[in-house]
Every structure is written in C-alpha cells, then in structure tokens.
Amino acid sequence: MNTLLIPRRSDKPEWTSLPLLCELQYPWDEDTTLAKTHFKAYHTGEDLHFQFTAYADKVRIYRKVNDKLEVRFSERVELFFREDAGLRNYYCLEMDPALRVLDYQAKHYREFNRDWQWPESLNLVCRSQADAYLLSGKISIKTLTALKLLKGNVLEAGIYRGHVLSLKGEEANIRWSSWLKPEAMEPDFHIPSSFGKWVLEE
C-alpha cells in the first residue's frame, strides 16, 4: 500500500494513542532479525507532527567536528518530500539521535545541494528507551505549501532509516529500511518508486 492517511487532531495527543501508520521493511536484506522501525504522524491543520520508533541494541553516532554531513555515517531516520513525480525537485531530511539534521535539496539523479537548509526549525526531540530511540518532530503546513510540496491535502513522501550495525571512523555498516520497496536492485531511495502519498485527513 503506497498511501498513508494522516489523521487530524485538534489537540496534542499522546503518541501512544495514535495509530501505527507503517513499519519499515528491509527491501535489500533477507536478515529477519534486523531492528524494526515504526512510524506515526498526525496534523493539526497548521503543523505536521511525526515520530519514529527505531529499535536498536546500540545507537552508533559518528562525531568529529559535529558538521551536518557527519549524519551520513550515523544512525538516522529520514523523510523525503518531492515536488513532482520525476524528482526534478525534492527535499531531504536525515535526522540522527543527536538531533543533527542533514537537510538538502536534490534533483534526479542524485544532484544534491547540501548548502540548502530547511527554512524552519523542526523542533526535534529524541528520547531513549532500553531497546529503541523515539525521534519526534514538527513541520509547518505553511512551509510545505511554500515549497510546493503540499497539493490540496496530499504530500508525496518517502520514509526511511539507516540502521548502523557497526562504525569505525567513517566506515559505517548500514542496513537500509524503507516504507515502500523501491524498484532497485541495490539500496537507493533517490528514485521515484521510493515515494508514496500522504493524505492529510480533513
């Protein structure tokens, strides 16, 4: 199923009361013991709220100078939003448990502008549990509209995770999971088939 219905809430609900919208899968890995990732979201009409529950026995984060590019070698969750089906313009948010955000604008195929910045604070919060980290954030509807991403009540988006199994310097052994199964033999989220639709409930 490539469509998610994002519920509308007038108040600030407890995340535990909200429905699980999807569980990410590992399209390129047959290891059934790999850590799971759950995704929830809701909107208020003014803001889109999201939460990842990313299970992990250990969270591995790369730090050297604390630049946003270090997120590439770290445990992280990701949201991509596209303006059009051909990926002539799309935006990527890669968020690690240290609350660093690798934000960039992109064009097909893999033309990245990493100097670009998301035009607002995402208000990220990360909470650790014994077996998972919960990363939550907020995106304004105004920003999604200004970037020409929200059309009516529909967003086209991708949901992903890079789960780091081992880390030595910048050598990260990463297993990639995704909401949808992209049409690619090797891990690749920067293609049209990795995106689906989010319908914001009226």
Question: For residue range 180-196, what is the model confidence (pLDDT) as tens digits?
Answer: 999 999 999 999 999 99
CA distances from 108 to 86, 169, 182 (A): 7, 30, 15
For residues 57-75, average pLDDT: 96
For residues 142-161, average pLDDT: 98
Adjacency order of strands within the sheet including 132-140: 22-23, 37-43, 47-55, 132-140, 125-128
pLDDT in tens, 128-147: 999 999 999 999 999 999 99
- pLDDT for 156: 98
- pLDDT for 72: 98
Confidence of residue 6 (pLDDT cuts 50, 70, 90): very high
Whole-structure pTM value = 0.97
Return the closest-CA partner of residue 103 out of 116, 112, 87.
116
- Residue 1 pLDDT greater than 90, yes or no: no
Long-range contacts of 16-21 (CB under 8 A, 24+ apart): 18/42
pLDDT in tens, 33-50: 999 999 999 999 999 999
- pLDDT for 28: 97
